[in-house]
Amino acid sequence: MRKCIVLLALVLILPLTALSAAGKAEVKVIKIGINAPLTGSIPKVGEGTKDSAEMWLSDIDKAGGLEVGGKKYKVKLVIEDNESKAASAVKANTKMITQDKVLIIIGPQSSKQAVPAGEVANNYKTPMISPWSTNPKTTLNRPWVFRACFLDPFQGRVIANFVTNQFHYTKAAVLYDIASDYPKGLAEYFKKAWEKLHGPGSVVAYESFTTGDKDFSAQLTAIIHSDAQFLFTPQYYNEVALIVKQAHQLGWNKVITGSDSWGSAELVKLAGKDVYGDFFSTHYAAAGAKGATKVFIDRYKAEYGYVPDDVAALTWDALNLAKTAIQNAGKLTGNIDTDRKNVRDALATIKNFKGITGEMTFTGNGDPIKSAVIVRINDKGQFTFFKQVKP
């Protein structure tokens, strides 16, 4: 019996000594947290985030680490799954900040997770960049929270202006999900912008449905029987596919426009020919891209086998923003609170950052000044660049 215990103790102590030796020799690493919806209702978004982040990390590793103030540091990504739920996003952020002690957090992507998670980051004074959240509340009155994309009010204006200038239409129809914060907000901002241009009553049909609905024929019939000249539907790609198909079956043959939530590689797969020729506003266009954007797209495609959607591109930009901010901070003191503060201050003053989704400038608050892109889905089902709209 006693022999057994002694043996057990020895076995347990052996790795202990080995590990303690390894612990001392370990170099300091920069930890970057990724808060992504890897499971839940939008796993494709989580996949894009993760793939993009891993590609970015491989670049850093190839360069031997991230150089800050003449010293190279290893970078470690802490990837947490927020299950596409608000409560889990808060848990994940709290864990990364207090347990893993990350320097900066990238994510969450959707506004419904980014708004509550931003509160956590702001309370713990940890910089956070949401690549994809376009809701103004995410960064409002939160000095520690940033984003890498434009805001919903801007996007609503972009679509309204684009349709007015391009087609000279004056009557719009809107179909949106009243139970989901993003489409609902965008529908409102679009309506406001459109009525400012064409006067009250120019949105002739303003129809809503509820998340999970699969049949839109009632709303679409109302839209078709109104004298709307085009339809704006700021829905997610899976819903867009159903909407455009049903609209065409009911006899709609006018233009349909959308917002950045259309910009998923899945859209054309699901909707097929029904979305050809339609437009949406987004952060970047994959087909016909030039320069660094093209390099990114080609590499990503070679690595993972699919064209990166805007989430992947924005995550890439957010990570590079973080990298620039860490480098601009000058040095790492080892005190995590000071370092976080330095990185935040550096991030808030980044000027003319050349991202693959356009140039970004921060002017003290968390929202960048950057332009939007109008994308046309061409006859081959590719997202082609149509027009750039400056703020």
Partner 1 sequence: MKATGSLPAGRSKFKIYRDKLLAPYIQVPVLGWLAGLLISTLLETFIGPYLAMVLGMSDVPALFGFTVVLKQPVLIPGVIIYLLIIYVLPIAIGARLTKSLANYIAGKLQQYPFWISAVIHIVLLYVVINTWAVMNDYRVLLAKLIMIAVIVTLSLNVINGYMGEFSCSHPGFIALGAYTASIITVLFFVNDSVLGAALLPPVLAPFLFPVALILGGLMASLFSLLVAVPAFNTRGDYLAIISLAFTFIIKSLLENLQIFGGARGFMNQPNLATLPVVFLWTVLAVWIINNFVRSTLGKALNAVRDNETAANAMTVDTKKTKMTAFMFAAFWAGIAGGLFAHVMRYVNPGSFGIKKLAEVLAMVYFGGLNSVIGSIVGAVGFNLLSEMLRPLEIFKWIIIPLLLILVMIFRPTGLIAFKDFDPKKLLRAKNKKEEDK
Contact residues toward partner 1 (CB under 8 A) are 12, 15-16, 19-20, 22-23, 38-39, 43, 80-81, 83, 85-88, 90-92, 94-95, 97-101, 111-112, 115-116, 119, 124, 135, 137, 178-181, 184-185, 210-211
Query: Under a CB-based contact definition with an 8 Å cutoff, are residues 87 and 35 in contact?
Result: no
Shortest distance, CB of residue 173 to partner 1, whole angstroms? 21
Report, in Å, the least distance between residue 111 CB and partner 1: 8
Pair 234, 190: CB distance under 8 Å: yes
The span from the CA of 335 to the CA of 238, in Å, is 45
b/e code 127-149 from CB counts within 10 Å (16+ = b): bbbbbbbbbbbbbeebebbbbbb
Which amino acid is present at 177? D
Nearest to 370 by CA among 382, 380, 356, 381: 356
Report, in Å, the least distance between residue 137 CB and partner 1. Answer: 7
CA distance 236 to 240: 6
CB of 355 to partner 1, least distance (A): 27
Q: How far is the CB of 93 from partner 1 (least distance, A)?
A: 10
Please say which residue, 79 or 286, places its beta carbon nearer to partner 1. Answer: 79
Phi (first) and psi of residue 269, to 5 degrees: -60, -40
Task: State in angstroms the smallest separation of the CB of 193 from partner 1.
Answer: 18
CB count, 10 Å around CB of 10?
A: 9
Q: Which is nearer to partner 1, 88 or 315 (CB)?
A: 88
CA neighbor of 283 nearest in space, from 188, 389, 382, 156: 389
HEC-encoded secondary structure of 25-67: HCCCEEEEEEEECCCCCCHHHHHHHHHHHHHHHHHHHHCCCEE
Taking the complex as a whole, the smallest distance from the CB of residue 83 to partner 1 amounts, in Å, to 7
Smallest distance, partner 1 to C-beta of residue 245, A: 25
* Minimum CB distance to partner 1 smaller for 111 or for 261: 111
Would you say 14 or 292 has its CB closer to partner 1? 14
Closest by Cα among 358, 330, 333, 315 to 33: 315
Least distance (Å) between residue 20 CB and partner 1: 5
Task: In angstroms, give the least distance from the CB of 211 to partner 1.
Answer: 8
CA distance 271 to 241: 4
Contact 373, 389 (CB under 8 A): yes
215-216-222 Cα angle (round to 5) = 150
Q: Pick between residue 108 and residue 358 the one whose CB is nearest to partner 1.
A: 108
Nearest-5° Cα angle at 355, 352 to 357: 120
User: CB-wise, 15 or 391, nearer to partner 1?
Assistant: 15
Task: Give whichever of 195 and 345 is closer to partner 1, judged by the CB atom.
Answer: 195
Q: How far apart are CA 72 and CA 77, in angstroms?
A: 16
Q: Give the chain's largest Cα–Cα span.
A: 91
Task: Write the DSSP symbol of residue 274.
Answer: G
